[in-house]
């Protein structure tokens, strides 16, 4: 049981491959989601050349997703080779302990299951609860089969060969002791063809087909300066490099690669309110440096212009019932743990 509110099941399904054949520590893609994202979950192994740690949030209505994923893991070789699955659910009122969970696949004939995969997937029901995204990010990291983690959203499309390309430099820089994290540039596009290498990306950005992530919606939270320099460095050599960039502000929520021993997200933050920022600001206060990777990136399909009505409702609920308590706790934790770095990072704004 976690925080007397959640039950967590680690290693519900385990990947069969370690990705350590070259003697280097692999980069685990730490992702999270719900059953509504099942198609993206199933596609992710084809877009990541390394281990994947998935944290799945379920409720009473969506619990069938675990049975479905059991069949996917059993019948889809690439999924089984790469993906380890964990799950979490919220306790019911007056429930004071987690139940014993035993879920097995239906042992469907794999040929028949894969033939009817879309139909089977559509039978999984979506959840409808406040989604604890920070908790799920932490579960994906804690359950990862390697010590180096790339925290990302399940709907991001990774550039080609990402995990292999950054493996060497990640092993050199990310060790759990040197207080360094690697930053990954993020983009968005409405195009049907998504760029998968920096040369295609350069062309698409110049032709205004692909844009920096959330360039029309809260860009200050995602902005990484000097994109022209990033393209120039990526073009001049095939060798992946990284250089230090400054921390921007307490609203910054860049994507990072970091070590198992490095800080985790504040899992008590209310849904959709400064969730990823809790980690990035923590890293700043702990005196970590942010180092931008050349060459590699990821792209979101679709350009965000505004929050959905559902998101607005969740944010309103979180601000009314959870923000003040979480803010006071978090600021006290940061100031107690890192009293000398407030000037470096500024005040946290929630």
Residue 105 DSSP label: -
pLDDT at 272: 81
Beta carbons of 198 and 307 less than 8 angstroms apart: no
Half-sphere exposure of 287 (CA within 13 A, CB side): 7
Q: Are 141 and 106 in contact (CB under 8 A)?
A: no
Q: What are phi and psi of 289, to 5 degrees?
A: -105, 150
- Token pair for 75: 């019948």
Q: What is the CA radius of gyration of the chain?
A: 20
Which pLDDT score, from 0 to 100, does residue 105 have? 63
CB contact at 8 A, 88 and 136: yes
Note the pLDDT of residue 310: 66
Q: Give residue 309's pLDDT.
A: 75
**pLDDT at site 3:** 83
For residue 51 the two structure tokens come to 């281990």
Helix (H) or strand (E) holding 201: helix 198-206
Tens digit of each residue's pLDDT (9 = 90 or more) over 285-301: 999 999 999 999 999 99
Q: What percent of the chain has pLDDT over 70?
A: 99
The pair of structure tokens assigned to 173 is 């820089």
- State pLDDT tens for residues 175-226: 999 999 999 999 999 999 999 999 999 999 999 999 999 999 899 999 999 9
Residue 262 — pLDDT band, cuts 50, 70, 90? very high
The answer to whether 120 and 113 are in contact (CB under 8 A) is: yes
What are the distances in angstroms from CA 54 to CA 66, 88, 137, 179, 350? 12, 11, 9, 25, 28
Mean pLDDT, rounded, for 144-159: 97
Region of poorest pLDDT, from 142-156, 231-245, 289-303, 315-329: 315-329
Model pLDDT, residue 141: 98
* pLDDT number for residue 238: 95
Distance CA 130, CA 144 (A): 24
Token representation of residue 26: 């692999």
| pLDDT of 76 higher than 80 | yes
Question: Distance between CA atoms of 153 and 157, rounded to whole angstroms?
Answer: 9
Instruction: Dump pLDDT digits (tens) for 290-343.
Output: 999 999 999 999 998 888 776 877 778 777 888 999 999 999 999 999 999 999
Longest dimension (CA), the chain: 62
- Taking 90 as the threshold, does the pLDDT of residue 277 lie above it? yes
Q: How far apart are the first and last CA of the chain?
A: 28
Among 69, 74, 75, 76, residue whose Cα is nearest residue 54: 69
CA–CA separation, 31 and 102 (whole Å): 23
Say what the pTM is: 0.95
């Amino acid at each position: 049981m976690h925080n007397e509110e959640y039950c967590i099941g680690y290693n519900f399904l385990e990947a069969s491959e370690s990705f350590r054949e070259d003697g280097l520590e692999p980069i685990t893609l730490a992702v999270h989601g719900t059953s509504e994202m099942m198609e993206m979950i199933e596609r992710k192994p084809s877009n990541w050349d390394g281990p994947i740690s998935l944290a799945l949030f379920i409720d009473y209505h969506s619990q069938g997703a675990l049975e479905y994923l059991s069949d996917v893991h059993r019948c889809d070789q690439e999924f089984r080779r790469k993906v380890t699955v964990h799950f979490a659910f919220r306790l019911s009122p007056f429930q004071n302990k987690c139940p014993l969970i035993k879920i097995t696949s239906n042992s469907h004939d794999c040929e028949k299951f894969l033939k009817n995969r879309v139909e089977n997937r559509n039978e999984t029901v979506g959840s409808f609860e406040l989604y604890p995204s920070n908790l799920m990010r932490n579960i994906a990291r804690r359950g990862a089969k390697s010590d180096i983690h790339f925290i990302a959203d399940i709907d991001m499309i990774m550039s080609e060969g990402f995990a292999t390309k950054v493996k060497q430099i990640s092993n050199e820089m990310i060790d759990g002791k040197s207080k360094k994290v690697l930053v990954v540039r993020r983009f968005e596009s409405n195009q049907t063809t998504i760029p998968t290498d920096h040369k295609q990306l350069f062309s698409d950005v110049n032709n205004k087909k692909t844009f920096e992530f959330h360039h029309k919606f809260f860009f200050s939270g995602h902005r990484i300066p000097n994109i022209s320099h990033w393209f120039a460095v990526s073009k001049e050599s095939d060798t992946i490099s990284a250089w230090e960039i400054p921390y921007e502000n307490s609203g910054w929520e860049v994507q990072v690669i970091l070590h198992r021993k490095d800080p985790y997200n504040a899992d008590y933050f209310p849904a959709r309110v400064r969730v990823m920022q809790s980690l990035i600001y923590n890293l700043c206060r702990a005196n970590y440096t942010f180092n931008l990777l050349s060459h590699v990136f990821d792209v979101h399909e679709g350009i965000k212009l505004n929050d959905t009505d559902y998101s607005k409702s969740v944010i309103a609920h979180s601000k009314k019932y959870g923000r003040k308590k979480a803010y006071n706790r978090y600021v006290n934790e940061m100031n107690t743990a890192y009293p000398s770095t407030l000037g470096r990072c500024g005040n946290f704004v929630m």
